[in-house]
Amino acid sequence: MKDINMTDRKKIKAAIVNESKTSVERLAARIISLPNDGGFFVKTCVLLIDKANINAVRRLGEELEPGTTKGFLGISATSYTNVNYVEFYSSIRSFKLSKGDRITLVFENNGELMFEFKTESRPNGYLTVNSCFIDDTQLAYMAETKLQYWILTDKHSGISVKGGFECNEHNQQYRSKRGGQILLQNLVKEILLLKSDLKTA
């Protein structure tokens, strides 16, 4: 399996879909599937050997270990005509992306985007899901700049964990950190391309 590169953007399936259940259209630019595992978000993992996670690992133990249904945070994006969302999917029981929880995305140029969840998360199978507004400038920044790592903080416990791109037996979306970084960039680029189509739809 090769790392994701610019030529692999065609393997990311995205589409404009009508989410409305009424006669009034509600068009959205969404990711349908990604290469290799068919998911619609990029998987990232808690970085267990990072010094920043020593206390969290001691308290939460195996809950943070990467596995089929635990230990990862998914990242995706959706765009409507006038608003965008960055979406997060957590399989970590102690980090349910609840109202008031925060996630900071730290990029290779030391830039940061910080999001605080304003609504309660919702269940999606074994995952909890939440999303935050992101403007066009921030979305373009995510497309142009490689994500280095993220820090997720639970409001009630005060515990923070640090995570990033890690390939393992339960995550075959990419083979290296760089491959994961480029996959996320390409996902956001696809959303931005479709957003321009939304405005003329």
Which mean pLDDT values do the consecutive 10-residue runs of the chain (201 residues) have?
A: 42 84 81 79 89 85 75 93 94 94 98 98 95 97 98 94 85 88 96 82 57
pLDDT for 58 equals: 84
pLDDT digits (tens, 9 = 90+) for 22-63: 776 788 988 988 877 668 899 999 888 888 888 888 888 877
- Report the b/e string of 91-130 with b at 16+ CB within 10 A: bbebbbbbeebbbbbbbeeeeebebebeeebeeeeebbbb
pLDDT for 155 equals: 96
pLDDT for 73 equals: 95
- For the chain, what is the HEC assignment? CCCCCHHHHHHCEEEEEECCCCCCCCEEEEEEECCCCCCCCEEEEECCCCHHHHHHHHHHHHHHCCCCCCCEEEEEEEECCCCEEEEEEECCCCCCCCCCCEEEEEECCCCEEEEECCCCCEEECCEEEEEEECCHHHHHHHHHCCEEEEEEECCCCCCEEEEECCCECCECCCCCHHHHHHHHHHHHHHHHHHHHHHCCC
What does pTM read for this prediction?
A: 0.88
Measured CA to CA, the distance from residue 164 to residue 40 in angstroms comes to 17
